[in-house]
Structure 1
Amino acid sequence: MVDLPAGLQKWFDARGWSVHPHQQAMLEQAGAPALLLVAPTGGGKTLAGFLPSLCALAENPAGGLHTLYVSPLKALAADIKRNLLIPIEEADLPIRVEDRTGDTSASRKKRQRADPPHILLTTPESLALLTSYEDAPRMFAGLKRVIVDEIHALAESKRGDQLMLALARLQRLCPDMKRVGLSATVEDPGAIAGLLARSPDPCQILLADPGPEPDIAMLQTNEPPPWSGGGAGYAIEAVLDQVRQHRTTLIFHNTRAQAEIFFHKLWLANEDALPIGIHHGSLDRAQREKVEAAMVAGQLRAIVCTGSLDLGIDWGDVDLVIQVGAPKNVKRLVQRIGRANHRYNAPSKALLVPANRFEVIECIAALDAVKAHDLDGESRGPGPRDVLCQHILIAACAAPFDADELFAEMTSAGAYAGLSRAAFDACLDFCATGGYALRAYDQWQRLQQRPDGLWQLRDPRSATRIRQNLGTIQDTDTLKVRWRGRGGKPLGEVEEGFAASLTPGDTFLIGGQIVRYEGLRELTVEVTRDPGRKPKIATFMGTKFATSTQLSTRILRMFQKDDWPELPGHTADWLRLQRSVSRLPEPGRLLVETFPRDGRAQMVVYGFAGRNAMQTLGLLLTKRMEEMGLAPMGFVATDYATLIWGLDSVTDPAPLFDLHALEAGLDGWLAGNAVMKRTFRASATIAGLIERQVGGQRKTGRQATMSSDILYDTLAKYDPDHLLMQITREEAMRGLVDFSRIREMCERVQGRIDHIETGRVTPLAAPLFLEPGRVPVRGQADERLLEEEVTRLLDESGLAQVSVTPKPWRVPY
């Protein structure tokens, strides 16, 4: 058993604390090359990660950087610094702790490189930037440990890929460096350990006592949820009643726009004038920090928020979490639940509020999954090559490099372990020349090979521009919003497209306030107060979650029960009626319903593949229907179904779901679609082909879009097999269109299709007719309707004997 230094032991004793078993285990295994600790929220896992460093520094406080802590959020790094300083100062330890994020001043950043603290708290982006400097070997020379907090959140994104490549670089600079990963929500510890491990050494896994089960249930309301929609306005009074009964309540939403709407309705109903705040990523930083400070001080009774408060920040005395809308992902729900009663062995308390009738079923399925400790997660596949290209440029900024050594370094990072030398060489050639179609342009000639075989920047001055554009987070094209007048305070940001739709006098919600649009001045939206009007809603681009595969599977299994006593009566009755009129979807089978409505043939496909995939399925099925001579007119999609309407009934749906035909249709559709251009722009920015920052000035979204569209069209015409075109297709398939889930659905079903023809709308299909976001299909249906209209007009005019055939027309698909 490892004993604590006297100062730390005295600090524990003064608080009446003892070291938890998993904290002791971290001390005893501190010498392992890599450790993954999975411990419940509030279980002291962050302190467990730091204890070996605190002990080592207490005994030998030599100068230089000893421990690097990496978190997904700037706010989390600042919060950890606050909490870490408590034992350091109270135990009188000679340890210097600093944070380094995008909010850190330039002067402090410069000083940190020259005189680094013992413990540095940072983010993946700031770490990547640090490794790009020539003095990185000197700064990291004494590094002993790297702690990656909330590693599950990073492992699911390109930020995690960027981080693992940076760790591979640090491992080469510091061969004895130890790696530590911390998380409360890991569905597959082995997979996360594999990413964290340093090749060829394995990563050891420590599983802490999970603690008591959370106290989690559905919020009881007097009014049933509506058939569609995402606002949950029906539950406002019930939510307010819960706020009154608790000290501090976090009210989570899946999107920023929904958070704004709910906060506005909550405030209007708040007759007791309870102090309630709002927090999300589109608000101005000063406003977010004001809310955070009020939370820490215990001045707020409730905070309406989004994922900006998901992770391990310990904000004040939160004793209740309310999740508005189905969580879509069990792991995310567990993470949010953990914000309440953030103490070891104290059960978290949470309530779920379904936004509509179908989400009642999703919420019950999520509750069952939490109780079964069944977390969800999707396999991400190999590391993305646009991030790899960026890492090559980072290496070139730091110093001339040997290609063989860099390849060996990159393949030691988990996600890139299977990287082929040919794929690496293609990325290196792209970084050096821009690729075949672009090698004639000087601006993309960034690397050159020296006579000794090392690669270096062609122009050393380009290092500044490369550093200005590092990172994998793709900002949405937003404009600042400020109060009108000289020195008007900032409120936050809205999308460029939304701002372009406004005319003076229009109103919208931001930060819970109704503001009036006055005009655009120097790329800033100027507003005034206008509390008395019904607002538009700013179209914040916050992540729109899709229901996970595991949660969808649970829902399908729930449908197979004889009855549903766990569901509210109104929802159970709805499912019973569906079973009597048609049937309920089953695992391993695909339910397709067809029926007439409003003079149109309707088809509903219950794929349960998530919103992105079901949207893509709608596009592909309507394209297939066009090819087969049917006349689709439009479709709408949700997480669980796609509704298609048209002129002709589908009598045999099986041919529509031929996987090879769907893949071919996807290739043709993607080739000229805006989805590809948007994906290309993101990947080209990460890979360094497109710059968002030039000379310290940020391009507008319109400027960036124009340059990326020109590049895309050029490559599509002259070099369709260009590396970035390959990456773009991979990313579109993996992300925006989510074709992998369509493929999984077809393979799971294997042609087992239940086609039910009814004479009317079925209960499960009814809510689809209320869904927004309908997508029209321009094709055969338009031509036939136009011809029928011309024929009708001729009949009315008595000229039916005159043969008139309208000229076919078609909007490009």
Structure 2
Amino acid sequence: MIHSPAPLPDPLQEWLNARGWALHPHQQAMLDAAQDPATLLIAPTGGGKTLSGFLPTLAELTAEPRAGLHTLYVSPLKALAADIRRNLQTPIAEAGLPIRVEDRTGDTSASARKRQRADPPHILLTTPESLALLLSYEDAPRIFAGLQRVVVDEIHALAESKRGDQLMLALSRLQALCPDLRRVGLSATVEDPDAIARYLAYHPDPCRVLLADPGPTPDIALLDVPQSPPWAGGGGRYAIPAVLEAIEAHRTTLIFHNTRAQAELFFHDLWLANSKALPIGIHHGSLSREQRTRVEDAMVAGDLRAIVCTGSLDLGIDWGDVDLVIQVGAPKNIKRLVQRIGRANHRYNAPSKARLVPANRFELVECHAALDAVREGTLDGEPRGDGPRDVLCQHILIAACAGPFHADALFAQVTSVGAYASLDREGFDACLDFCATGGYALRSYDRWQRLVQRPDGLWQLRDPRAARQIRMNIGTIMDTDTLKVRMRGRGGAPLGEVEEAFAATLTPGDTFLIGGQIVRYEGLREMTVEVSRRGGTTPKIATFMGTKFATSTRLTERILDMFQQDDWPRLPGHTRDWLHLQRRISRLPRGDRLLIESFPYDGRPHTCIYGFAGRNAMQTLGLLVTQKMEDLGLGPLGFTATDYAVLVWSVDPIDDPAPLFEGEDLRAGFETWLAGNAVMKRTFKASAVISGLIDRQSPGKRKTGRQATFSSDILYDTLRKYDPDHLLLQITREEARRGLVDFGRIEDMIIRTRGRVDHVQLGRVTPLAAPLMLEPNRVPVKGAGQERILAEAAQKLIKAAGLPA
């Protein structure tokens, strides 16, 4: 049976006609699917995804006006929610629709939040954290009464993090309050539509997937730079003259960087080279809200020719007339590159234009692999596994804040979420017991006695006043331990934040970069870094944590496949010659074998292991291999790691590397090393905060990073000693394996190489290993090797002095 397309109400159709617009096929398809329980729309950037998501809502509210909350929109960014509100106001105002739209984020005033609870708008735009907070109130059933639709924007970004797990648990509770709730997911970059559809669906209801026309192929290439990239390092500053030429030739250029520190460095050098005084801004998450807002407003007004930025401008915000994107440094992830490319020519059927600037010689190869993937429409993504239990613990506490609950009902809600579908009742009850008592080792402490079970079987807060404390600590985003930075003096302008650890290294007179300007550290006052403009010209650099991306598995596979080609005609001559030289002197790495090179350098044996497992995993591999070498008496002295290799130097050479990579031994060594490593304490702290064991905020005060770390370290040591199988220690081990140390990718490396090791012993440094010699981040190994070197040096000194041994 053929169904006719769902019509638009007259006011909306007249608004479209007045603009000379017609609905795109995927927008009409969204209208036709309006009553489906779940719909996932994958449409290119600029393809009208947002309007597609809201058209059924606007149509329903126009045809049947009503009071109360009709549609909830959830986005990963506060700024994106505010931007969507601005964009929605246009059709609503011009079509004369009686629809109220408001946003509710951490930036919303207390009075507005209070009013929204009492009188919800028709459309509420929010974030996962603000939604979780709303659901924690006793009047949540009244607030969400009549809710019809939930629109999750940039769903791919949420699906990759704990924020997405928190959101889906919140939606399971919303679905219990509103059984007929319909779900909509929007994205431009989904590598596995079926997986995201399962993620979005309310099980066992199906989710329809709508694929829009992908539009024209983007115009992407390497930026034409006369100079060759350096052999090592990052930042891409060698390309600044070419970047300035590109800025001058376009209306507005976004210049993306992978870290905040790199963005600050690049902006500073770009500004110094900006002889024509082109208006250029900087935007990243460590800057003050005031400074970010100034840059955003200038973008909207068209007052800036370029913005140096990080992931803070990754997602679908439509600011200014951007016609060029420049990615400085390898993107590390194909999906991230596609998202950033889409910021240029943010219009349907207009090709996006982007240029890549590799930061060093190896990144040139990686950039070519990424460009090929984008042209082929290939995306990447790492499987996330089961839902994290620290997020589940927080969800249980949020449910308790809203009022008494039945464990069976909550368990049913939780297991309706795809990530938690395999959770058994024993695992759920362990989380419930942890929330109620703190677990075996902590149940005698009153502060962790938070839930009690009533005679009727319902669970509730032991003390209703605890709800305030729980609400203050809702969220899964782990802030780095930062301090505010302000200009010195009464009412000094806020500049942003720097890490506590960085601030601790400063003495009055030191200078550093923030917001593109050099400032002078004057002192610390009331947990605020006070600075002046007397910065000079040679700054230190604030150690912004940001996110240090690891090259994705899919992109790594492409690089290894490239190495197996006979030639690389599209690579620059200098890079082709480099790879051919590597093949002649040694060999190029392969995906199904592990290449290990041994050679002398500077009087010491060096070993290079080409694991291609990503930066975090290769760093971990360096720690594990040097520990194994220590056990074998080889005297490791240090190592350095990149996304693709680990370089180790030692007192004695490695004659047979195979025993270093035996899976079970490596896994056992990993577990032993991890148990006492600082990574575990850092991971424990994060899980303890998310699960509610440790508060990051209390009424009237906020813990400093040092205070939180100190208290979490004591708890960690206590639990390891008295309750080693405590739930939170189990969670910590799970999180550490897939987080900071990424041991899973080391295991994948061992599986794909299956013990096939190519050990090449040479008399000199190989071409592919040479750049690792120039890497600045060297990790020393303190052990028998250092003692042997000191003993040898002492013997030489004694002999040279003619003294008896």
Do they superpose with TM above 0.5?
yes
How far did residue 231 of structure 1 move?
A: 1.1
Shift of 1:150: 0.1
The equivalent residue for 2:555 is 551
2:75 aligned residue = 71
- Which residue, out of 260, 263, 280, partners 1:256? 260
Which residue in 2 is equivalent to 1:372?
A: 376
Cα deviations across residues 302-356 of structure 1 (Å, max 9, x unaligned)?
0000000000000110000000000000000000000000001000000000000
Map of 1:617 onto structure 2: 621
1:122 aligns with 2:151: no
Residue 206 of structure 2 aligns to which amino acid in structure 1? P
Aligned mates of 2:460, 2:435 — CA distance in 1: 11
Question: How does 1:553-702 map onto structure 2 within 5 Å?
Answer: 553-702=557-706
Q: Secondary structure at the residue paired with 2:203?
A: coil
Q: Note the 1:781-800 alignment, pairs <5 A.
A: 781-800=785-804
| Structure 2: runs of 5+ lacking an equivalent | none
In structure 2, C-alpha distance between the alignment counterparts of 1:222 and 1:792, rounded to whole Å: 50
Residue number among 292, 304, 313 corresponding to 2:296 in the alignment:
292
Describe the SS at the equivalent of 1:272: coil
| Residue aligning to 1:806 | none
1:535 is the counterpart of 2:539:
yes
- The worse-fitting range, judged by mean Cα deviation, of 141-150 and 790-799 is 790-799
1:668-706 residue CA offsets vs partner (Å, 9 max, x unmatched): 111111100000000000000000111132111111111
Q: Which structure 1 segments of 5+ residues have no match?
A: 803-813
State whether structure 2 residue 708 is matched by structure 1 residue 709. no
Letter paired with 1:13: N
Indicate whether 1:404 and 2:408 are aligned. Answer: yes
Partner SS state of residue 483, structure 2: strand
Alignment of 1:126-205 (within 5 A): 126-205=130-209
1:424 correspondence with 2:455: no
1:498-524 deviation digits (Å, cap 9, x = unpaired): 000011111100000000111111111
Residue aligning to 2:349: 345
Deviation of 1:792 after TM superposition, in Å, equals 3.0
In 2, the alpha carbon distance for the partners of 1:25 and 1:530 equals 59
Match of 2:506 among 474, 482, 502: 502
Matched, 1:35 2:62: no
Cα distance between partner residues in 1 of 2:425 and 2:401: 22
**Structure 1 residue 276 corresponds to structure 2 residue 280:** yes
Structure 1 window deviating more from structure 2 (622-631 vs 69-78): it is: 622-631
Deviations along 1:204-236, whole A, 9 cap, x unmatched?
100000000000000011111101111111000
Partner of 1:88: 92
The one-letter code of the counterpart of 2:194 is G
Residue 433 of structure 1 corresponds to 437
SS at match of 1:4: coil
Structure 1 distance, partners of 2:754, 2:614, is 19
Q: Which secondary structure does the structure 2 equivalent of 1:351 belong to?
A: strand
1:517 corresponds to: 521
* Cα distance, 1:629 vs structure 2: 1.8
CA shift for structure 1 position 793: 3.9
Q: What's the secondary structure of 1:485's corresponding residue?
A: coil
CA contact 2:131–2:170 (8 Å) conserved in 1 = yes
8 Å CA contact 2:85, 2:102 repeated in 1? yes
- Structure-1 separation of matches of 2:801 and 2:260: 55
Partner of 2:325: 321
1:254-274 deviation digits (Å, cap 9, x = unpaired): 000000000001100111111
Cα distance in 2 for partners of 1:789, 1:350 equals 55
Name which of 485, 490, 509 aligns with 2:489: 485
Could you say which residue in structure 2 is the equivalent of 1:15?
19
TM-score (norm 1): 0.98
Q: Which residues of 2 match residues 730-741 of structure 1 at below 5 A? A: 730-741=734-745
Q: How far apart, in 1, do the equivalents of 2:139 and 2:174 lie?
A: 13
Q: 2:10 is matched with which residue?
A: 6
The structure 1 segments of at least 4 consecutive aligned residues displaced by more than 6 Å after TM superposition are none
Which SS does the other structure have where 2:180 is aligned? coil
Structure 1 residue 607: deviation in Å? 0.5
Q: Which amino acid aligns with 2:685?
A: R
Q: Give the AA of the match of 2:371.
A: L
Rounded Cα–Cα distance in structure 1 between residues aligned with 2:682 and 2:7: 55
2:774 corresponds to 1:770:
yes
3-state SS of 1:609 partner: coil
% same residue? 75
1:642-673: per-residue Cα shift (whole Å, max 9, x none)? Answer: 00000111111111100111111111111111
Per the TM alignment, residue 785 of structure 1 is displaced from its structure 2 partner at its CA by 1.9
Output the CA distance in 1 between the equivalents of 2:205 and 2:324: 42
Q: Does 1:265 align with 2:269?
A: yes
Query: What is the CA-CA distance between 1:530 and the residue it aligns to?
Result: 2.8
CA distance in 2, matches of 1:651, 1:24: 67
How many Å apart are 1:531 and its aligned residue? 4.7
* 8 Å CA contact 1:590, 1:752 repeated in 2: yes
Instruction: Answer yes or no: is 1:452 the counterpart of 2:456.
Output: yes
Q: Equivalent of 1:25, from 29, 45, 54?
A: 29
Match of 1:217? 221
Q: Is the 8 A contact 1:67 1:120 kept in 2?
A: yes
1:718-762 CA-to-partner distances (Å, cap 9, x unmatched) read: 111100000001000010000000000000000111111110000
CA contact (8 A) 1:133 1:397 kept: yes
Distance 1:776 1:446 in 2: 45
- Mapped partners of 1:654, 1:672: distance in 2: 26
Number of residue pairs matched by the alignment? 801
Instruction: Tell me by how many angstroms 1:786 deviates.
Output: 2.8
How many angstroms apart in 2 are the aligned matches of 1:222 and 1:747? 42
Q: Given residue 593 of structure 1, which amino acid in structure 2 is its aligned partner?
A: E
Alpha-carbon distance in structure 1 between the residues aligned to 2:430 and 2:572? 57
Partner SS, residue 304 of structure 1: strand
- Shift, 1:798, TM fit: 4.7
Q: Is the 8 A contact 2:512 2:535 kept in 1?
A: no
Rounded Cα–Cα distance in structure 2 between residues aligned with 1:768 and 1:785: 23
Give the secondary structure class of the aligned counterpart of 2:688.
helix
Contact 2:599-2:607 at 8 Å conserved across structures: yes
Q: Which residue of 1 aligns with 2:107?
A: 103
* Partner Cα separation in structure 2 for residue 750 and residue 505 of structure 1: 56
Q: Match for 1:754 among 736, 758, 763?
A: 758
Could you tell me whether the CA contact under 8 Å between 2:430 and 2:727 is conserved in 1? Answer: yes
Which of 723, 730, 748 lines up with 1:726 in the alignment? 730
Q: Secondary structure at the match of 1:181?
A: strand
User: Which range is displaced more, 623-632 or 149-158?
Assistant: 623-632
What are the Cα deviations for residues 153-180 of structure 1, in whole angstroms up to 9, with x where unaligned? 0000000000000000000000000000
List per-residue Cα deviations over 1:450-473 (Å, max 9, x = no partner): 001110000000000000000000
SS of the residue aligned with 1:640?
Answer: coil
Distance 1:178 1:697 in 2: 40
SS across alignment from 2:125 = strand
Measured against aligned partners, the alpha-carbon deviations of 1:589-617 in whole angstroms (never above 9, x if no partner) come to: 11000000111110000011000000000
Letter paired with 2:451: L
Helix, strand or coil: the match of 2:626?
helix
Give the Cα–Cα distance (whole angstroms) in 2 for the partners of residues 795 and 340 of structure 1: 69
Displacement of 1:787 after TM fit? Answer: 2.6
Q: Distance in 1 between matches of 2:793 and 2:572?
A: 48
Q: Which digits, 9 at most, give the CA deviation of each residue in 1:119-146, with x for residues without a partner?
A: 0000000000000000000111100000
Shift of 1:60: 1.3
How much does 1:797 deviate?
A: 5.0
Q: Is the 8 A contact 1:592 1:605 kept in 2?
A: yes
